[in-house]
Structure 1
């Protein structure tokens, strides 16, 4: 795809000399900028901070699509998303999903049960540091019929990263205040305590009442993310055999025999 310079310049004009814009305005500017460079089917922008539920800033989905890509995602599956874990790790830049996904992600139950519903050929994302521990991820998605982003288009998107970062930092300021407001609203609605230690990783809370040890919790969390036993062993510095023993013990404790049942039990905690 050749660069549409006229469309590019039209997209840049609103960014010049303007005060902070609304979410939809900023999202539209990003979409128009990207459309002048490459072809894509959807745009979605989330803000992440720690283990908080992501804030949806902008998307181009219709009502039915938004249920899958946003509403269902925010309800719990985001905790297993490679993009979420990359944001938590503080990595910034432009990445393809397949660069970030664990070694068994595309054969995991999470991928089969949730991600395949999106029917995407590929998702790429700009990970931008918005300050105060907030990462804004601006995703471009291509459907199966459109196909993955060619190498030349991905290289072009990489060159646009400084402009995308400037757009985010200029127009999405003080996002940490939105997360704090969300926490306060949750406490008012009885969804959390006004004080006390919050889990470092929200996924830990899922298994707390099921009497899993911290080691078992760490392993099961990685299993659901799509890591193989070998990958888990390397991440936790234990043997593959030890990983398998812990996994069998967890299945026995929970009275389950498959990853399908494990994921179902996991997601029920968010209902």
Structure 2
């Protein structure tokens, strides 16, 4: 038997489906499983722009970061990659289990300029976990739960409790998405790679492919495996990319991408 508090939270959640109060009601339910500082739900598609289903960020987070994220930085998010992967891997995931091998050195994970979960006031997140769930219309959703610096990692009992809520979270989210209707979906289908091509117009197609993986947080070895080329070839591409762009480091490459998103 579930407890009275959980039953009340589930009832409130389904009563809020299709309304602006859905995200807050979902947070009330999941906080029974584990506390967190911020939350969000994005609907992701491989061919259409992301949909903000729930914005539960702290008020200290800069809204400009969210705009830059939606303009293209979302493509650097491991949860986006998980949502468009085929086959989709639904469930509850720790960010670190989805992230590429050099993700935490790539810039995106700690940038308050393009990562909407980071701010100068809130500090770098100590951990982000997320439900990855399929939606109709070719979308999948990530419902992320985040703890700010100074907190603790989610422990195993918390993960287990949150995992037990997957059927409720999934059912309510699918229903909410359906009730929102097609008016909430982007109608355009831009090429997802266009943001990289316009940000780095002087690069060749092969260099664009390497640049995208660098920005997503892949090491040279990981890039070589993804593109089926040698590590030496990756290093040569990286050298040529930096030379063409007139930069000398990965941080400058990331800053070039940030500046492009901010100037759109």
**Larger RCO (CA within 8 A; separation ≥ 6):** 2
Residue 216 of structure 1 corresponds to: 207
Residue 133 of structure 1 corresponds to: 138
Residue 201 of structure 1 corresponds to: 193
Other structure's SS at 2:21 match? helix
Asked whether 1:267 is paired with 2:258, we answer yes
TM-score normalised over the length of structure 2: 0.85
TM-score normalised over the length of structure 1: 0.83
Q: How many residues align?
A: 251
CA spacing shift, 1:62–1:20, aligned 2, 3 Å? closer
- Structure 1 distance, partners of 2:35, 2:71, is 30
- Structure 1 distance, partners of 2:201, 2:110, is 27
Q: Deviations over 1:7-43 (max 9, x none)?
A: 2111111345x58521x32212211110112111111
Structure 1: 5+ residue runs without aligned partners?
Answer: 184-196
Asked whether 1:32 is paired with 2:15, we answer no
Equivalent residues of 1:203, 1:221 under 8 A apart: no
CA spacing shift, 1:202–1:179, aligned 2, 3 Å? farther
Equivalent residues of 1:134, 1:175 under 8 A apart: no
- Structure 2 distance, partners of 1:112, 1:140, is 16
- Structure 2 distance, partners of 1:8, 1:266, is 44
Q: Deviations over 1:125-178 (max 9, x none)?
A: 111111111112111111222211001211221121111100111111166553
Which structure 2 residues correspond to residues 158-173 of structure 1 after superposition, within 5 A?
Answer: 158-173=163-178
Residue 60 of structure 2 corresponds to: 64
Residue 242 of structure 2 corresponds to: 251
- Structure 2 distance, partners of 1:110, 1:7, is 38
Other structure's SS at 1:65 match? coil
Which structure 2 residues correspond to residues 1-271 of structure 1 after superposition, within 5 A?
Answer: 5-15=3-13, 20-22=17-19, 24-65=20-61, 67=63, 70-89=66-85, 90-114=88-112, 117=119, 118-173=123-178, 177-181=183-187, 183=188, 198-207=190-199, 209-210=201-202, 212-270=203-261, 271=263
Other structure's SS at 1:64 match? coil
Structure 2: 5+ residue runs without aligned partners?
Answer: none
Equivalent residues of 1:7, 1:32 under 8 A apart: no
- Structure 2 distance, partners of 1:34, 1:259, is 38
CA spacing shift, 1:237–1:138, aligned 2, 3 Å? same
Other structure's SS at 1:172 match? helix
